[in-house]
Amino acid sequence: MEFDAVGTDLGSISEKKCTEFVEALYSKAAVPGGGGAAALVGAVGTALAGMVGNLTTGKKKYAEFEDDIQRILKEAQVLQDRLLAMIDEDAKNFLPLSKAYGLPKETEEEKAYKEKTLEECTKVACSIPLEIVEVCYKAVLLQEELVGKGSALAISDVACGVQCLRAAMISGWVNVLINIKTIKDADYVADVNNRVKPMLDKGVEICDRVYADVEKQLS
């Protein structure tokens, strides 16, 4: 299967078959890339929270948690849908940046315009990876809750889920790092570092703790 080098003919990436999506990642196309992959992995990690919830709801053994499980299911669905939507949004946001790099810079006017355009496009390109971290963090909190409220028969899926979400958060963050270093807006950079980096660190810590807890239960 062939993919356009700049990704303009990819259509709705999120609606492709898994094999098509992976082939698109493998190709030289600008999109999908790491951001889209992070969103997909995050959606998978969130879906596993839904799976555990669906395997728990209605079971007498977990009746005391039924209200919480129903809430988790509703929240997980919203987060999963948002992550899937971000696959295409990330591709859409990145293309202008990839094209901006090709702007001419022969004259002072061209240099100034290119610099301004790159700054604006880079901020747009960072927006979805940043949101991936934020949304996946919310999903991690759901998985953390399921350790004690979800069906013990599906506890391994909680561990799988947090590992997917851990990878998605880190992947989203590195897609920010590679671009944010070129941004000259100090206030923007400070806001990103102060608002999102602590969330990432806390999310990773929770994922590691949840995984260790599950591994201990299964050992």
Q: Which domains does the chain have, with CATH numbers?
A: 14-216 (1.20.120.680)
Query: 3-25, pLDDT tens digit by residue?
Result: 344 444 445 656 768 888 899 89
Asked if residues 36 and 87 have their Cβ atoms less than 8 Å apart, the reply is yes
pTM across the whole model = 0.89
pLDDT at 152 over 50: yes
From the number of C-beta atoms within 10 Å of its C-beta (0-12, 13-18, 19+), residue 114 rates as middle
Query: 31-42, pLDDT tens digit by residue?
Result: 889 999 999 999
pLDDT at 77 over 70: yes
| Coil, strand or helix at 7 | coil
For the ranges 41-50, 131-140, 177-186, the lowest mean pLDDT is seen at 177-186
> Strand ranges (DSSP E) for 15-157?
none
Query: 56-71, pLDDT tens digit by residue?
Result: 999 999 999 999 999 9
pLDDT computed for residue 31 by the predictor: 83
